[in-house]
Amino acid sequence: MAKYRKLGRTASQRKALLRNQVTALINNGKIRTTEAKAKEIRKIAEGLIALAVKEKDNYEEVTVKAKVARKDKDGKRVKEVVDGKKVTVYDEVDKTIKKDKPSRLHARRQMLKVLYPVKDVPTEAAGRKKNTKEVDLVAKLFDEIAPKYADRSGGYTRIVKIGQRKGDAAMEVLIELV
C-alpha cells in the first residue's frame, strides 16, 4: 500500500499542487476540491498547524533602537539641506520585536518550505500594483490559528462532502479549518 496518493501527476506537479492548495486553505480558511486531494492536503495542513501550536509562545521580546525617517502631515519624508544636498531627517525610536528562539525559527523555516508567498489585493483599487500587500502566512499561523487550537490535540481540519462534480463525477468536498 502506498504512503500517499499520486493524483495522476509527476512528483513536481503533485508537490506544487499540494503546496498551492495548503496555502489557499490557510489563507482563506476553506477550499473546495476533490476528496483524494483533500485527504492529502489535510496531512500537510494539520502538520503545519500542530507545529505552530507547539511553537506559538517560544519567543522573547527584545527592545531595539531603530532609525525612522521623520514624516510631515502628508506622510512624506522631511528633508533638510546640508552642505548643498537634500538629506532625509531620521529619528531614533525604541521598538519591541519578537525574537524567535531556535526551535521556533526552525519551525518557521519548515513552514516556509511548504507555503507560497501570497499577495492581498484590495477590492477598491484592484488595478494598482502599489496597493497590493504581502500576506505573512507564517505569522498568521503563529498569531491567529495556533492560539485558536492551543487546547485541541489534533483534528484541525474538517472535510465535508458536497456531491459529485458534473464533468467527471469526481466526489467534491469542502475542506475547512475547524
Angle at 120 between CA 119 and CA 124, to 5 degrees: 140
Which has more pLDDT, 123 or 102? 102
Residue ranges with strand state E in the chain? 30-34, 59-69, 79-82, 85-88, 90-100, 118-120, 133-135, 157-164, 171-177
Does residue 126 register a pLDDT over 90?
no
Per-residue pLDDT, averaged over 152-170, amounts to: 94
The DSSP code for 4 is: S
Q: Which amino acid, one-letter code, is at 127?
A: G
Residues 6+ apart with CB under 8 A from 88: 69, 70, 77, 78, 79
Helix (H, G, I), strand (E, B) or coil at 158: strand
Burial of residue 29 (number of CB atoms within 10 Å: 0-12, 13-18, 19+):
exposed
Predicted confidence band at 74 (pLDDT cuts at 50, 70, 90)? Answer: confident
Q: What is the pLDDT of residue 129?
A: 72
Q: What is the pLDDT of residue 155?
A: 93
Burial of residue 31 (number of CB atoms within 10 Å: 0-12, 13-18, 19+):
buried
Q: What is the pLDDT of residue 130?
A: 73
Q: What is the pLDDT of residue 125?
A: 66
Q: What is the pLDDT of residue 168?
A: 93
Per-residue pLDDT, averaged over 12-20, amounts to: 97
Average pLDDT, the chain: 92
Q: Which helix (H) or strand (E) holds 63?
A: strand 59-69
